[in-house]
Structure 1
Amino acid sequence: MSLRGAVDLAAVKAAGEAKEKAQERARTAREQGAPVASSAVLDVDEASFEQEVLQRSASVPVVVDFWADWCQPCKQLSPVLEKLAEEYNGKFILAKLDIEANQALAQSILSQLGVQGIPFVLAFVGGQPVPMFQGAVPMEQARQVIDQLVDVAEQQFGIVGEPIGESPADDAEESALPEVPEDPALAAAHDALDRGDLGGAVQAYRNVLADRPGDEEAKAGLAQAELLQRTIDLDPAAVRSEAAENPTDPQAQIRAADLDLVGGHVEDAFGRLVETVGRVFGDDRNTVRVHLLSLFEVIGTEDPRVAAARQALARKLF
């Protein structure tokens, strides 16, 4: 097996470059006069809820503030949430929903969750609802809950936001930084992968991550090496036959998806697991969801196919 290009990995380093691309988008938007900073807080209604909340939550946690003009506690809580949204600068988006102007939508959501009063704050991550709190809460309590939300979004869903606004001084400082040479440990891991030493590559990437848990390039390399390690001894015909005969067997579908990805059939791999998420429940659903997120790491979170799959996953989960 030729490992270089065995998976469609033109974006092997895409995860590591995500921050730079986000910063570039922010700079471009600022140069074009777009209201970058104000996008941390937005008003949503029944017409925009699907796009601005559910679809947007595939790439950034969205916190929904259910409020009404007659609600005095809402007037205490809303400024707290707005201040935090600006402070967190893109780690989450605050969407404000006026329940009086959008009664059908608000009633549908609140009744499903058994909520009878406002203010009520509900987050969406990857299209999945995450209840936050009900009633007005102080700033520090709200901050603690949002910190937990941001951590859950990254650890369980692989979803992180991106900076909304940056100062020109920050841009100049970043551009003045010297280029950092490639880390020898990371280079050794890449070389092991290219040689077909999968065990050595896995260990080398893990060593890098032990020192730098946030190294996106090492995460992507480890995901690729583990994928190849899982599939190298599989019988493709047997795997595909088993998957066809057992559409609700999580492990059968996972093995087939892995083979799809190794063969370069990225959309097929993602689509198979998204459909399986829609067929199974409980622990089986979570197993498939988590594996799908690991395949996103292989391709790179900036790849448009990953964004499309995240949206499809969100529709299945919610």
Structure 2
Amino acid sequence: MTRPDPRKTAALSAALSGAVDLGALKARADAARQAAAAPASAAAAPADTGSSVPWIVDVTEASFQAVVEQSLQVPVVVLLGASYSPESQALAATLTRFATGSGGAWILARVDLEQAPRIGQAFGVQSVPTTVAVAAGQPIDAFAGPIADAELSAWIARLLDALRERLPGIRAGEARATGVAEEEVVEDPRIVAAEEAFEAGDYVAAQGFYEQILASEPGNELAKEGLAQARFAERAEAVDPAVIAKADAAPEDIDAQLAAADAEIAGQMVDEAFSRLVSAVRRVFGEDRDRVRQHLIGLFELFPADDSRVASARRALASALY
């Protein structure tokens, strides 16, 4: 097998970022379950595994959302293939072999597009096989076509490295894979308390927990990331999406610009939010400029340091300032 065209791979990953309407697929699946009068517990169950390994699943349209929800804990590698495609079958065999030994550090979700075409439509699949990595409910990387085993292994390794500090199930799965008892993977109870407050929607309490950690450990990266997320979640919860139109109509209104940027980030309009605040930096001076700059830097902290959108916006910000 040969390496896919990197230009096509990059384009596919970029196209998927923030563009996949998984919610619409969930709505169709929910409607199908209701029509079939399925028990409520069935909606929460993952797909029929088709395997004795619980982290390898064969996905249907009705079960896909339940699998996506597991991406809050570990990455989900979605293989979109078809039974008529030899390349799909070969890639499925390799991914299945890799997933079997993963300990559940990631989930393999196998999709037969002949049986579940709407999943392919949701991802905008142009050819089979297509492989998509999903984390925290959103596609984050993808490639089309076959790929050499060594390159596939490296791709999965990069995925786990990028997400290990963000998705709590990765380390537990790796511990299972290496024979280390799961109990030996000790979680910081302070981080756990903060995350529980965040998940309960108590963003103020979550901020308090993270701030206490940082008071004694200023270099704690998990606490830094968590604090940024909690602060943004508190703001985003209160923001009115209509503020975007208000900000467009009043470019001199700094409060509106900051709130609009938050609304755009919450709506997956990342480039628009960054561009809005960089433009504001160019227009204002003094305390207002520093206020916009600090807000933009705070938004940068919501994303991985190597996110290309952040890198581009940082360059634009430097140009606007100097």
State TM-score, norm by structure 1. 0.43
State TM-score, norm by structure 2. 0.43
Q: Relative contact order (alpha carbons < 8 A, sep ≥ 6): 1 or 2 greater? A: 1
